[in-house]
């Protein structure tokens, strides 16, 4: 699960994972609730990730989902068809916030996601879930908590430093084995993704308004 506020880079990061899987020869499925396919293609190209070729070759399928037209049962059948008939190995659901619109209530979403994720896990398929949180800086909240269904949770945050709005990324949960517990700066531009050194000189990065924890600490501009 990739968790954080709108615009912080969750979808772009998930897309980078998809591109890496395609480069390994795997097949992928993107279920897009929030973004038209044309905009997705342009955004990917702007980050140096052209996915038009794998789509044309049939190695990647992008489905733009309208919750008003596709029922939860139809969505589950779509996923099952992609896995069993097209040998899809990576499924990206972007986003759960949009998927929730297809559900009559939170409990239905939890049950449906539990069913889909259990199936995909049994089939050995990797699933990337994108979930937007309310707010941009400071206290964050989610409309639904699905972190307990996720083996790994990657948390994204905006924070202010040196008069600029920046991004931070950290792994807050990994179900099996140890994981890095540092908070690092994330930069996303036309050159791709850059993960910086741990923000060891700051306290309160996840609050959005950090302060220097030690004298003389600097952050690159």
Q: What does the pLDDT read at residue 93?
A: 94
Average pLDDT, integer, range 127-134: 90
Structural domains in the chain plus CATH codes: 2-212 (3.40.50.300)
Which pLDDT tens digit goes with each residue over 193-212?
899 989 888 888 877 767 77
> Among 114, 179, 199, which residue's Cα sits nearest to residue 149?
114
Is the pLDDT confidence value at 162 over 60? yes
Average pLDDT, integer, range 7-34: 95
Average pLDDT, integer, range 10-32: 96
When mean pLDDT is compared across 14-28, 54-68, 144-158, the lowest value belongs to 144-158
Which pLDDT tens digit goes with each residue over 177-196?
888 899 999 998 877 889 99
Which pLDDT tens digit goes with each residue over 99-118?
776 665 667 778 888 899 99
Q: What does the pLDDT read at residue 140?
A: 61
What is the distance between the terminal CA atoms of the chain, rounded to a whole angstrom? 29
Q: What does the pLDDT read at residue 135?
A: 67
Q: What does the pLDDT read at residue 97?
A: 79
Higher pLDDT residue, 85 or 73?
A: 85
Q: What does the pLDDT read at residue 103?
A: 65
pTM recorded for the entire structure: 0.86
Q: What does the pLDDT read at residue 19?
A: 96
Report the percentage of the chain scoring pLDDT > 90. Answer: 52
Instruction: Give the separation between CA 219 and CA 201, rounded to whole angstroms.
Output: 8
């Amino acid at each position: 699960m990739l968790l954080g506020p709108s615009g912080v880079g969750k979808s772009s990061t998930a897309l980078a994972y998809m591109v890496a899987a395609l480069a390994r020869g795997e097949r992928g499925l993107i279920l897009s609730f929030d973004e038209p396919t044309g905009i997705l293609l342009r955004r990917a190209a702007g980050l140096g990730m052209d996915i038009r070729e794998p789509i044309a070759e049939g190695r990647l399928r992008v489905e733009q989902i309208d919750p008003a037209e596709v029922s939860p049962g139809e969505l589950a059948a779509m996923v099952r068809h992609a896995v069993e008939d097209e040998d899809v190995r990576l499924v990206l659901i972007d986003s759960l916030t949009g998927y929730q619109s297809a559900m009559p209530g939170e409990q239905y979403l939890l049950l449906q996601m539990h069913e889909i994720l259990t199936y995909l896990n049994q089939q050995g398929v990797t699933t990337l879930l994108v979930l937007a949180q309310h707010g941009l800086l400071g206290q964050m909240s989610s409309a639904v908590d699905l972190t307990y269904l996720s083996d790994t949770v990657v948390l994204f945050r905006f924070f202010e430093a040196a008069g600029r709005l920046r991004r931070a990324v950290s792994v807050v949960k990994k179900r099996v084995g140890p994981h890095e517990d540092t908070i690092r700066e994330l930069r996303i531009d036309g050159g791709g993704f850059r993960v910086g050194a741990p923000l060891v000189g700051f306290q309160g990065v996840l609050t959005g308004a950090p302060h220097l924890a030690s004298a003389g600490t600097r952050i690159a501009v």
